[in-house]
Amino acid sequence: MNIQQTSKRKGVTLIELSLVIGIIIILVSTSSIGISFYKDWQKGLAAGEDLKVVYQAQKLFLADNPTTLVAAIEASDITPYLPSGMAAIPTITGLDGVARTITITVSPPVINGGYDPSSSNDDSLWDTGK
C-alpha cells in the first residue's frame, strides 16, 4: 500500500512574515536617514540663496549710490532692491534651529555669529565673506 501525502500550503509561515516585516523596517529606517540629510542640504541651499539675494541687492544699491561706503549701508537702503515679495532682509535658520540675521555692512554679506555647520572653516561651505 502506497500512501502519498500531499500538502497544500495556504498562506505564509510566521518566519516568512517576520522576514518581510524586518526588511520593510530596514528600508524605512535607511530612507528616513537619507531624508534627514536631504532636509539639511535643503536648509543650506535656502540659506545660500538668501545670501545671494542680499548680495545682489547690496550690489545694485552700491551701483546706484557709488559714493556710499559698504559699512554705512542700512537695511532700509537695500530693501527696495530685494526681489518682489521680500519686504525685509531674510533671516537664516541654522541646522541647530536658531534664526540668524545677515550682516549687510560687509561685502559680500555674511551670517551673523560666524555660523558654519561644516567641520572646517575654509571648505567653502557657508564660508562667504572670506
Per-residue pLDDT at 46: 86
- 107 within domain boundaries: yes
Per-residue pLDDT at 103: 87
Strands in 26-111 per DSSP E:
92-93, 99-100, 102-103, 110-111
| Residue 65 lies in domain | 15-111
Per-residue pLDDT at 80: 92
Domains: count for the chain: 1
- 124 within domain boundaries: no
Reference 44, options 114, 128, 126; nearest CA is: 126
Query: Which pTM value belongs to this model?
Result: 0.65
Per-residue pLDDT at 32: 79
- 25 within domain boundaries: yes
- 125 within domain boundaries: no
Per-residue pLDDT at 61: 93
- Chunked in runs of 10, what are the mean pLDDT values of the chain (130 residues)? 65 88 91 81 85 92 92 91 88 84 86 67 56
- 2 within domain boundaries: no
